[in-house]
């Protein structure tokens, strides 16, 4: 059977909640991606993780400076090391990009970045992506990190947006492999909302940039 056009499916949104164990959600993403077929709608999973550092496939331990009691987990996305913790909105994108006229990975990354830029612009914050260092930045400080895994045209992992969190753990690493890279968050830019309060609007921005005509919030997940 050929690839079904993406316009036939809604973009499904699932809220996994707070303090989710990273490895459990990671394995669920892998299983979903392995088991899906051409008729499986794309999904976005929204979550806040318990404190964890994750190290991408090409990541170097030298960028993990002093993790202390926070675990370091090598994983299968691209990129270097980043931090996840309470107060950060993590957005996992489980997409079949073959259904979007074989959307290229670089174009996909740029569209995801632009969705975050759109969200921040709504609150009067000027942000931009970076072609050489994927993510979203406000005056040079990183507010959102991005790392994907693409296998057979299907993606998982995704985006993390710093909302209202303790930024200290970022000082224990070279964020995304860049020594001295400063990070920021929505709270420090005057956006006084919690992660899941921003989630709906961010999903709308993502659906627009990725050209999904319909969002479906899965029942029982909020």
Residues identified as active-site: 176
Is 84 annotated as contributing to ligand binding?
A: yes
Is 79 annotated as contributing to ligand binding?
A: yes
- DSSP secondary structure code for residue 183 in this structure: B
Is 11 annotated as contributing to ligand binding?
A: no
Report yes or no: 75 and 15 within 8 Å, Cβ to Cβ: no
Is 83 annotated as contributing to ligand binding?
A: yes
Residue written as tokens 């991606």? Answer: 33
Tokens of 83: 């931090």
Report yes or no: 167 and 97 within 8 Å, Cβ to Cβ: no
Q: Which residues of 96-134 are buried (b: 16+ CB within 10 A; e: fewer)?
A: bbbbbeebeeeebbbbbbbbbbbbbeeeebebebeeebb
Is 68 annotated as contributing to ligand binding?
A: no
Is 160 annotated as contributing to ligand binding?
A: yes
Report yes or no: 193 and 163 within 8 Å, Cβ to Cβ: yes
Is 123 annotated as contributing to ligand binding?
A: no
> 180 exposed, middle or buried (CB, 10 Å; 0-12, 13-18, 19+)?
exposed
H or E stretch covering 129: strand 128-129
Is 77 annotated as contributing to ligand binding?
A: yes
Is 220 annotated as contributing to ligand binding?
A: no
Annotated binding site, which residues? 77-84, 145-147, 158-160
Annotated binding site for substrate, which residues? 77-84, 145-147, 158-160
């Amino acid at each position: 059977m050929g690839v079904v056009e993406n316009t036939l499916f809604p973009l499904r949104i699932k809220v996994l909640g707070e303090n989710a164990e990273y490895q459990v959600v990671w394995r669920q993403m892998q299983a979903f991606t392995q088991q899906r077929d051409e008729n499986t709608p794309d999904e976005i999973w929204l979550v806040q993780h318990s404190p964890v550092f994750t190290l991408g496939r090409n990541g170097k331990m030298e960028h993990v400076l002093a993790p202390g009691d926070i675990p370091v987990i090598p994983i299968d996305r691209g990129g270097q090391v980043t931090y996840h913790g309470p107060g950060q909105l993590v957005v996992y994108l489980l997409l079949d990009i073959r259904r979007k006229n074989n959307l290229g990975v670089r174009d996909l990354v740029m569209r995801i970045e632009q969705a975050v830029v759109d969200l921040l612009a709504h609150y009067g914050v000027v942000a931009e992506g970076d072609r050489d260092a994927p993510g979203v930045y406000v005056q040079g400080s990183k507010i959102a990190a991005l790392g994907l895994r693409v296998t057979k045209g299907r993606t998982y992992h995704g985006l993390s947006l710093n909302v209202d969190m303790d930024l200290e753990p970022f000082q224990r690493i070279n964020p995304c492999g860049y020594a001295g890279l400063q990070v920021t968050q929505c709270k420090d830019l005057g956006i006084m909302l919690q992660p899941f309060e921003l989630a709906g609007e961010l999903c709308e921005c993502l659906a627009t940039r990725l050209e999904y005509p319909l969002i479906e919030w899965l029942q029982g997940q909020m």
